Chain A
Amino acid sequence: MKLDCKHVWEHISEYIDNTVDAKLREDIERHLEHCEICSAILDSTRNILVLTADDRTFELPVGYSERLHKRLAKELESSKKDSHSK
Chain B
Amino acid sequence: MRTTETSEAGLIARILAGDKELFHELVRPYERMVYLTLFSIVRNETEAEDGAQETMISAYRHLTSFRGDAKFSTWLVTIAINEGRKRLRKAKGVAEESIEEQTEGHEGDFTPAPLTDWREIPLEALERKEFREALRVAVAELPGIYRQVFTLRDLEELNVEETAQALGITTGAVKVRLHRARMMLQRRLVPFLKTTAPARKGFFGRAL
Q: Chain A interface (Cβ within 8 Å of chain B)?
A: 6, 9-10, 12-14, 16, 36-37, 39-41, 43-45, 47-58, 60-61, 64-65, 67-69, 71-73, 75-76, 79-80, 83
Q: Determine whether the beta carbon of B135 is less than 8 Å from that of A53.
A: no
Is B186 an interface position by the 8 A CB rule? yes
Q: Determine whether the beta carbon of B57 is less than 8 Å from that of A61.
A: no
The distance in angstroms between the C-alpha atoms of A58 and B189, with both chains bound, is 16
Q: Determine whether the beta carbon of B182 is less than 8 Å from that of A41.
A: no
* Neighbouring A residues of B20 by C-beta, 8 Å: 76, 79-80
**B window 83-138: CB within 8 A of A:** 111-116, 118, 120-121, 123, 126-127, 131-132, 135-136
Interface size in chain B (residues, C-beta < 8 A): 49
Q: Given that A51-B131, A52-B155, A80-B20 are contacting pairs, would A13 and B179 also be in contact in the complex, using a CB cutoff of 8 Å?
A: yes
* Neighbouring A residues of B136 by C-beta, 8 Å: 57-58
* Neighbouring A residues of B56 by C-beta, 8 Å: 68, 71-72
- Label chain A's interface by main secondary structure: helix
Residue of B45, B113, B186 with most chain A CB atoms under a 10 A cut-off: B186
Q: Determine whether the beta carbon of B157 is less than 8 Å from that of A48.
A: no
Q: Determine whether the beta carbon of B186 is less than 8 Å from that of A58.
A: no
Q: Determine whether the beta carbon of A61 is less than 8 Å from that of B49.
A: yes
17 A-B pairs with CB atoms under 8 Å apart are A9-B111, A10-B179, A13-B182, A36-B118, A40-B115, A44-B115, A44-B193, A47-B121, A50-B123, A51-B135, A53-B154, A57-B132, A58-B139, A67-B49, A68-B53, A72-B27, A76-B21
Q: Determine whether the beta carbon of B60 is less than 8 Å from that of A76.
A: yes
* Neighbouring B residues of A47 by C-beta, 8 Å: 121, 123, 126, 193
A45's partner among B60, B157, B182 (CB-CB below 8 A) is: B182
A51's partner among B23, B114, B127, B190 (CB-CB below 8 A) is: B127
Q: Determine whether the beta carbon of A64 is less than 8 Å from that of B35.
A: yes
B113 (CB) vs chain A CBs: closest residue: A41
B60 (CB) vs chain A CBs: closest residue: A75
A71 (CB) vs chain B CBs: closest residue: B53
Q: Determine whether the beta carbon of A49 is less than 8 Å from that of B182.
A: yes
Q: Determine whether the beta carbon of B155 is less than 8 Å from that of A41.
A: no
* Neighbouring B residues of A49 by C-beta, 8 Å: 154, 182
